[in-house]
Structure 1
Amino acid sequence: MDRFDAMQAFVRVVESGSFTKAADTLHVSKTTVTQLVQQLEARLRVKLLHRTTRRVQVTADGAAYYDRAVRLLADLDDAETSLSSASAAPRGRLRVDVPSPLARLILVPALPQFHAQYPDIQLDMGVSDRMVDLIGDNVDCVVRGGEIQDQSLIARRVGDLQLGVYAAPGYLERAGMPAHPKDLEDTHHRVVGFLWSRSGRTFPYAMRRGAEDVQVQGRYVLAVDDGNAYQAAGLAGMGILWLPHYIAQPHLGTGELVPLFQDWALDTMPLYVAYPPNRHVSAKARVFIDWVAALLAQHAPLVGPGGGLPRP
């Protein structure tokens, strides 16, 4: 038994949930995949998978082995791509996690260019605003807005999001046009709340005009933990939004959103790529991070080391 082939076959079965699908991705027969997994179980003397006629389910021992196997396979791939001959053409599987609006509006539309330049990189992109355990979830790097609170991670600042305050015309017809940010604390007005993933709570926004400095949180009837849902709630008239310009801009020309408090300044929100300090930055991860930084230089250029909204 080739231990590498058996390990790879097992990982593909777990991830695809099927021996047939695993065989297709490995370009071998289903019988070969089945035999490799059986040989691996015999060698380890544990049952890794529960098999039924309808599905394949990983056992507790299998789940623990899967986590280790994924890391070992990634380390092996990194070792191969670190060679000078391989570094010129990064390849292999790269697991990343990015915020949902950033993926939808900026990263995914630009991925054809990335793939054309690096055709041998297989990208597994998680799209979420949740906290990610980079080690436990076997993620190579994440893109996140706000200051990185986990000081154990290595973080590279790749952009700064300019923020504004917006509302749908239908909302303003019902609630009226607020004259001052503090009006959002009144009973007449509502905001859409954003639940920060670390705390599950909403937080106030800092706004400045001349010598006046206010913290605005507002009241909400709806709070969400996903950027796309947050935007959709505002467009539906559920309340006032704080949005990055790149998200709001398409809706200003159509009249779906109206800018508010344009004479007030808001802190920028920094964007970071973060990755574990004990993980070798492979060639494929390095080119992805550089690509993200170059892309965001067009959409969210760095404005310097100034303040940003805290990441709760």
Structure 2
Amino acid sequence: MDRFDTMRVFVRVVERGSFSRAAEDLRLPASTVTDAVKRLEARLKVRLLERTTRLVRVTLDGEAYYQRCLSILADVEEADSAFTDAKPKGLLRVGVQGTQARRVIVPRLRQFFDAYPDLELFLSESDRFVDLVREGIDCVLRAGEPKESDLSARRVALLREVTVASPDYLSRHGMPTRWDALQGHRMIGFRSSATGGILPLEFMVDGQRRTVTLPMTLSVDGADTYRAAALHGHGLIQVPYYAVQRDLAEGALCEVLADTPPSPTPVHILYPRNRQLSLRVRVFIDWVVKAYDAAAEAAGP
């Protein structure tokens, strides 16, 4: 194992807080990872990590060395990728919301792997906040405006949103005609993973965002359950158009208040601010922008 490989091992151990998790990420025997760090400490003649039975914690010297390793490894990767024939390879770990993965990303992955045959992709499905560094995730796709100040963000898509309800619900409560005349209607509450609060319905009226909170008997915190509850007639919901496009085409759901739709939802890709953007992440960002564009084109106006 050369010095650069040893640096990569050390960086992964620091970020994962575990020899075993670092070994799993790097696909190395745990003993190899442990021995590499021991040899590194012996060569530098300094303790880089404090080890307990449950935790691996970086020392002050280790933190300083970790930061230098990040800079050096980023420079090496940047130098390698400067050549036109450089090809991304290895494992790329991406956090993604499940519905977006199933509707936008997975159906188009064959083109991605055709273009980058030496890449392997791990999709980690979750709506919760993800500590990218500690959980070993390279980047994460999130809907809405990013709030994590320690992450860099690039917008990759702007999703059209619609207000929908089932025919059964509309037969019982009537077809809404105005956003500000929804007496007698109900909504299905969606709880924000960031705040835990119920998100109001929102409507764009003459370029202004208006919000309404209706009575509800059901609230959820999962996108698939949100859609399922609407299909079973529990109330109005607001979702990206791609998520209910088939339901609308088949008549299982109906769009309402189309002249005052919700504002579009931005999708950003987030990655650690203190890292050079790797070639693996760069090619994924470029590809995922095209994937969302293709999904929007398929959805139509």
TM-score, length basis structure 2: 0.73
Any stretches of 5+ residues in structure 1 without a counterpart? 51-56, 302-312
RMSD of aligned alpha carbons:
4.2
2:285 is matched with which residue: 267, 289, 295? Answer: 289
Report the Cα offset of residue 201 of structure 1.
Answer: 0.9
SS in 1 for 2:135: coil
Question: Retained in 1: the 8 A contact 2:142–2:269?
Answer: yes
Q: 1:212 to 1:282 in 2, by over 3 A?
A: closer
SS in 2 for 1:124: strand
Is 1:157–2:158 an aligned residue pair?
no
Report the Cα offset of residue 37 of structure 1.
Answer: 11
Q: 1:239 to 1:79 in 2, by over 3 A?
A: farther
What residue number does 1:133 align with?
A: 131
Report the Cα offset of residue 105 of structure 1.
Answer: 0.5
Give runs of aligned pairs for residues 161-240 of structure 1, distance below 5 A. Answer: 161-184=159-182, 186=183, 188-210=184-206, 214-240=210-236
Q: 1:143 to 1:180 in 2, by over 3 A?
A: same
Report the Cα offset of residue 223 of structure 1.
Answer: 2.1
Report the Cα offset of residue 249 of structure 1.
Answer: 1.1
Question: Retained in 2: the 8 A contact 1:134–1:275?
Answer: yes
Q: Deviations over 1:131-178 (max 9, x none)?
A: 222233232211111111234422111111111100112222333323
What residue number does 1:53 align with?
A: none
Look up the equivalent residue of 2:243 and give its one-letter code.
Answer: I
1:246 is matched with which residue: 216, 230, 242? Answer: 242
What residue number does 2:44 align with?
A: none
TM-score, length basis structure 1: 0.71
Q: 1:94 to 1:32 in 2, by over 3 A?
A: closer
Q: In 2, distance between residues paired with 1:225 and 1:177?
A: 26
Any stretches of 5+ residues in structure 2 without a counterpart? 41-46
Q: Deviations over 1:92-135 (max 9, x none)?
A: 22221112211010101111211121122222211122222223
Q: 1:60 to 1:168 in 2, by over 3 A?
A: farther
Q: In 1, distance between residues paired with 2:272 and 2:88?
A: 20
Look up the equivalent residue of 2:265 and give its one-letter code.
Answer: M
Question: Retained in 2: the 8 A contact 1:81–1:91?
Answer: no
Q: 1:31 to 1:197 in 2, by over 3 A?
A: closer
Identical columns (%): 37
SS in 1 for 2:252: coil
Look up the equivalent residue of 1:244 and give its one-letter code.
Answer: P
Count of residue correspondences: 286
